[in-house]
């Protein structure tokens, strides 16, 4: 395993890729084995695969970079607030995974000095590895990524998702979905936000939006979109961070059009 007190982003990227692949092997091992999922909320699930994948990732980070901090979906924050921060989703698309629906991934990002530096998203069933480094581009299995140049809503295929508390939340995305579906070529709701955002970066989707995302859902993919020439903001156009209330990721030509359509303009 890699050890370096002052690691380069190349070193950090390779570490993240290797760790994501190890975690993905755990997901493959548990996929379609019939293990029961546990409920964190009425419709919010966690599986043994989530827990084992996260345990491996967190332990590997702490062993390799003990001075770094970790923010992980299932176990929360570990380490000092001012340290480089690994943002981890051990299994994005848990509901898909629990139902045997083959669309989920591992997502690992590193944020240091207030900026995203590295992002990796690994789809263990398709064996696709998306990655990005700040200032060095975004890639899928070594091939450079570029967002689409779609400039009309009617030509755009976009994706979205719905908050677990959608039955009670006032901004539950139903109004926005209803506005956009009438004006867009197609909308997908695949159930794995990190993969949706990676798909924007690689041009399989023209845009993505959602409310109430967590940093581990969006951090790695957001860096990929930016490095692939895309635009990412909140739905109202304000600056985006991994802790933002909403996320809107598109190619630059589509961004103002989709933003206005979501607002009902």
Domain CATH code at residue 221? 3.40.190.80
pLDDT score recorded for residue 33: 82
pLDDT at 142: 93
Same domain for 28 and 136, yes or no, is yes
Is 2 domain-assigned?
no
Q: Which of residues 76, 111, 144 is at a domain's end?
A: 144
Residue 172 confidence (pLDDT): 86
Instruction: Give the DSSP H/E element, type plus range, for residue 65.
Output: none
Tens of pLDDT along the chain (265 residues)? 444 456 899 999 999 999 999 999 999 999 988 665 665 555 456 688 889 999 999 999 999 999 999 999 877 788 777 899 999 999 999 999 999 999 999 999 999 999 999 999 999 999 999 999 999 999 999 999 999 999 999 999 999 999 766 556 667 899 999 999 999 999 999 999 999 999 999 999 999 999 999 999 999 999 999 999 999 999 999 999 999 999 999 999 999 999 999 999 8
Residues 82 and 169 in one domain: no
**255 and 159 both lie in a single domain:** yes
Q: Which residues pair with 25 in a beta bridge?
A: none
Q: Are residues 140 and 183 in the same domain?
A: no
- Measured between alpha carbons, how far is residue 110 from residues 102, 116, 191, 196, 199 in Å? 26, 6, 23, 19, 20
Structural domain ending residue among the three candidates 121, 144, 167 = 144
Sheet holding 143-144, edge to edge: 76-78, 69-72, 85-92, 105-112, 115-123, 128-133, 137-140, 143-144
Same domain, 95 and 206: no
| Helix and strand counts by DSSP (H, E) for the chain | 7, 15
Q: Are residues 207 and 229 in the same domain?
A: yes
Confirm if 230 and 236 have CB atoms less than 8 A apart.
Answer: no
219 with 136, same domain: the answer is no
The answer to whether the beta carbons of residues 132 and 139 sit under 8 Å apart is: yes
| pLDDT confidence of residue 137 | 98
Rounded to two decimals, what is the model's pTM? 0.92
Residue 103's contacts (CB-CB under 8 Å, 6 or more residues apart) are 93, 96, 190, 191, 192, 195
How confident is the model at residue 7, as a pLDDT? 86
Alpha helices in 99-150 (DSSP H): none
Q: How far apart are CA 207 and CA 226, in angstroms?
A: 13
- Give the residue numbers spanning the domain of 68: 9-144
CB 191 within 8 A of CB 105: no
Q: What's the pLDDT at 167? A: 57
- Residue 83 falls within a domain, yes or no? yes
Same domain for 73 and 171, yes or no, is no
Same domain, 121 and 169: no
Same domain, 115 and 219: no
Assess if residue 1 is contained within a domain: no
Residue 108 is part of a domain; what is its CATH number? 3.30.540.10
* Domain match, 138 and 213 both: no
What is the domain count for the chain? 2
The span from the CA of 254 to the CA of 48, in Å, is 40
Residue that terminates a domain, selected from 113, 144, 175: 144
């Amino acid at each position: 395993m890699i050890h370096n007190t002052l690691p380069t982003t190349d070193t950090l990227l390779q570490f993240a890729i290797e760790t994501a692949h190890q975690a993905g092997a755990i997901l493959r091992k548990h996929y379609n084995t019939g293990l029961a999922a546990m409920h964190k909320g009425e419709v919010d699930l966690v599986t043994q695969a989530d827990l084992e994948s996260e345990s491996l990732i967190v332990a590997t980070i702490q062993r390799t970079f003990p001075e770094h901090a970790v923010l992980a979906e299932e176990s929360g924050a570990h380490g000092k607030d001012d340290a480089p921060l690994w943002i981890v989703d051990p299994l994005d698309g848990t509901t898909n995974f629990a139902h045997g629906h083959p669309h989920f991934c591992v997502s690992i990002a590193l944020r240091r000095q207030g900026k995203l530096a590295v992002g990796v998203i690994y789809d263990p069933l398709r064996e696709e590895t998306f990655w990005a480094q700040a200032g060095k581009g975004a890639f899928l299995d070594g091939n450079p990524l570029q967002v689409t140049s779609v400039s009309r809503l009617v030509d755009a295929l976009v994706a979205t998702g719905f908050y677990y508390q959608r039955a009670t939340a006032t901004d539950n995305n139903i109004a926005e979905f209803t506005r956009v579906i009438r004006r867009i070529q197609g909308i997908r709701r695949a159930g794995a936000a990190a993969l949706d955002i990676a798909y924007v970066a690689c041009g399989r989707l023209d845009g993505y939006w959602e409310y109430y995302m967590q940093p581990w859902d969006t951090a790695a993919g957001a860096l990929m979109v930016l490095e692939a020439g895309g635009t990412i903001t909140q739905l109202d156009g304000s600056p985006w961070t991994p802790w933002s209330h909403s996320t809107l990721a598109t190619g630059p030509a589509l961004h103002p059009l989709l933003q206005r359509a979501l607002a009902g303009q």
